[in-house]
Amino acid sequence: MTAAKKEFVLAVEGLTVSFDGFKAVDDLSLYVDENEIRVIIGPNGAGKTTVLDLICGRTRASAGSIRFRGKELTKLKENQIVHAGVGRKFQNPSIYEELSVFENLEISYPRGRSVFGALMFQRDREVIERVEEIAEMIFLADHLHTSADLLSHGQKQWLEIGMLLIQDPELLMLDEPVAGMSVSERKQTAELLNKIIQNRSVIVIEHDMKFVEDIAHRVTVMHQGRILSEGSMEHVQSDPKVVEVYLGH
Ligand code: ADP
Ligand code: MG
């Protein structure tokens, strides 16, 4: 094994954040590979969302480092982190309800080369093709011209994932993406994540164990700001420390 020399896409080391003396994340180290889907589980208040907040720059670390493709993220601003290739989906979808599926995706298309603002932006072939490709991927190809407010809760979640995917992030982070979804929507979401993993890493926070089983390459169990257990689904499920936290003493 050449573990010592191995380059992880994401290497989090000694990450700590205190809120008024309370350590929501406490000396946490986490390594994610390319083409990996990592799922973070753990009881409410374990610090899962805070870890994503720290990685995407929404919350500043008190200590530790977050290296993404060799670049230190802890000193960067949120928009610089997005630019570095990190996409983050929050628990509640932030889509434009009054716009169509097409328009929501179009507005999210990276427009680095254009000197015009959003309104002047030309719908050239490249953009249309990319929007259609993403819509297909997120099961909304037949709803391109549907107003987003008419979509189901699950479809809204997919649309927001699509709005991130169109920016082609190398690291995609999703906070409880299947909350409130039907069983079949959960299955489709697992399918979607398994489809988009090439040349990318995905971190998902989730409670639904069937869903976790369908997507996780490795599982990290958090408890009180720290890692309680890590490994395959089978490994963490049979870890006595995990069993104790989930089933009580
Ligand atoms: P999880 O996502 O695992 O349920 P969170 O990361 O949301 O947990 O929260 C971990 C702990 O940190 C909780 O006790 C929460 O109240 C606290 N916390 C999170 N963000 C903040 C903040 N910005 N200010 C103060 N406390 C916070
Ligand atoms: Mg949370």
pLDDT tens, residue order, the chain (249 aa): 444 556 899 999 999 999 999 999 999 999 999 999 999 999 999 999 999 999 999 999 999 999 999 999 999 999 999 999 999 987 777 899 999 999 999 999 987 555 555 555 555 788 999 999 999 999 999 999 999 999 999 999 999 999 999 999 999 999 999 999 999 999 999 999 999 999 999 999 999 999 999 999 999 999 999 999 999 999 999 999 999 988 765
Which among 73, 54, 71, 72 is positioned nearest to 62, based on CA atoms? 54
Instruction: Choose the residue to mutate in 50, 92, 227 for probing ligand 1, maximizing ligand atoms within 8 Å of C-beta.
Output: 50
Dihedral angle sign, alpha carbons of residues 4, 14, 65, 232: positive
- Long-range CB contacts (within 8 A, 24+) of 81-84: 81/55, 81/56, 81/57, 82/56, 82/167, 82/169
Give the pLDDT of residue 122: 55
Give me 97's structure tokens: 């309800």
So what's the pLDDT on residue 92? Answer: 74
- d(CA 245, CA 142) in angstroms, rounded, equals 44
In angstroms, rounded to a whole number, what is the distance separating the alpha carbons of residues 22 and 18?
Answer: 5
Measured at the alpha carbon of residue 122, what is the angle toward residues 121 and 126, in degrees to the nearest 5? 115
Q: Quote the pLDDT of residue 112.
A: 59
- Length of the chain as a residue count: 249
Q: Give the model's pLDDT for residue 125.
A: 83
**pTM beyond 0.95:** no
50 lines ligand 1 (CB under 6 A): yes
Residues of the chain with CATH 3.40.50.300: 1-85+171-249
Q: How far is the CA of 44 from the centre of ligand 2 (A)?
A: 7
**Residue with CA nearest ligand 1 atom 7:** 49
CA 52–ligand 2 middle distance (angstroms): 9
Structure tokens at 50: 């805070």
Other C-beta atoms lying within 10 Å of the C-beta of residue 72? 10
pLDDT of residue 118: 54
Rounded to the nearest angstrom, the distance between the alpha carbon of 50 and the centre of ligand 1 is: 6
User: Which ligand lies nearest the alpha carbon of 220?
Assistant: 1
Domain 1-85+171-249's class? Answer: alpha beta
Separation in Å, CA 54 to CA 61, 147, 152, 173: 6, 33, 30, 12
**pLDDT in the model for residue 59:** 97
